Amino acid sequence: MLYFRLRNFALPACAVALSLAAVAQAQPPAAPIVLHAARLLQIDTGTLLQPGEILIQGERILAVGTSVEHPQNARVIDLGDATLLPGLIDAHVHLFLHPGAEDLQTVEESVPWRTLLAAQAAKADLLAGFTAERDMGTEGAGSADTAVRDAINAGIIPGPRLRISGNAISILGGHEDAIHYNPAQHVLSNADYANSSDQLIEVIRQQHKEGSDFIKIYQTGHDQVVDGNLRTPCQYTEAQLAAAVEEARRLGTTVGVHAQGEPGTLYAAQAGVASIDHATQLSDETMRLMREKNIPAVPTFAIFEYFAQHAESPAQAAREKALLDYKISEFKRQVAAGIPFAVGSDVGPFPHGTQAVEMELMVRYGMKPLEVLQADMINGAKLLGWEGQIGQLKPGYFADIVAVPGNPLEDITAVERVSLVMKNGAVVRQ
């Protein structure tokens, strides 16, 4: 009898699903949208269209210019003295972290709780104008970021387009391992262990099975400046990284590395990683390889500045300030050397939704506003695997668009004050 009841219950559910699908197919397409603003920035050329207009139909851009067709049924949004830009891209985020002691939150907070917080972080980032992000490790929450990405893609929760890595990968006793706790408590690492090429391949396959889009590897360990020199232990050899890169390539994906300095950054460049994140110290040979292979550095100034300003003691403040000063000096060398950059903030340890300050800092320390915007949108789209789909305002691209007050070429801080956010043709903030 129970089996019979369950069968009878399932039939109406199927009928309802079919009816909803039929209704959805019968609905007319959404009315087109026309965005109008005083300016529109063409990211690839740096040309300002004045005024600027975009015609959007569904999830795609149909036309861009100083004047576009205004269909009779179009919704026209006049944004006034603003500049239209592609949606912002953050190539280095941690949705599963929030301000506070990182090592404690990853131990004390459950994965379900951290996943709920990650969903809120994704929403905050989207409302700040970040329509695409690369999540660089759940810091001990395993593949829970797969659920956040999939829920966003299904329209269940708001958030950016996401590329996710699951847990990052590190060595026993290395970066993100719980080395300051009582060993008898067996506190877990915030990354997956891999101590050899074979183990790297095994972990990469497991993470891929669980839904990762790319691989995040910790290539260097504890960093400190001693007598004006950066000391940053290397975790993997060039051969080990090359094995990881090759396995990722086999799976159709890439490897991004946390790498502060030499020789770890050199090994990463030799292995052909997709990006070198933090990149505080790069030798001339490393920079040559980065130019040759088009490997961007992702400086993450925002997290360095935040730690320097929010240290728990004067001694810690001095250490963080020394590291930031060293980083600024090296960044100027990197800009002069002409290496490629992408924009990533390392947001998570500082509040989500505030990371556009990264672009302000990159300008403050040596880049021009247009160069930073190009690094963010063009290089960011390529790094995330969405080149030709996001990062520019062109017909056929996804309608991921923000409006910022004034002219960001004159004042880059405008990106910290978005007035409109559109993702996939839908207005999510106005």
* Domain 33-87+393-429 coded CATH 3.20.20.30: no
Answer whether 136's CB lies under 8 Å from 162's CB.
Answer: no
* Domain 88-355 coded CATH 1.10.1270.20: no
Amino acid found at 144: A
Tell me the domain boundaries of the chain. Answer: 33-87+393-429, 88-355
Nearest CA to 238 among 197, 279, 280? Answer: 197
Residue with tokens 């506190």: 187
- pLDDT digits (tens), the chain, 430 positions: 333 333 333 444 444 444 444 444 555 678 999 999 999 999 999 999 999 999 999 999 999 999 999 999 999 999 999 999 999 999 999 999 999 888 888 889 999 999 999 999 999 999 999 999 999 999 999 999 999 999 999 999 999 999 999 999 999 999 888 878 888 888 888 999 999 999 999 999 999 999 999 999 999 988 888 888 899 999 999 999 999 999 999 999 999 999 999 999 999 999 999 999 999 999 999 999 999 999 999 999 999 999 999 998 999 999 999 999 999 999 999 999 999 999 999 999 999 999 999 999 999 999 999 999 999 999 999 999 999 999 999 999 999 999 999 999 999 999 999 999 999 999 999 9
Answer whether 191's CB lies under 8 Å from 179's CB.
Answer: no
Q: Give CA 190 to chain center in angstroms.
A: 19
Answer whether 291's CB lies under 8 Å from 308's CB.
Answer: no
Nearest CA to 416 among 348, 365, 342, 362? Answer: 362
**Structural tokens at position 22:** 């039929």
Q: Is the pTM of this model over 0.85?
A: yes
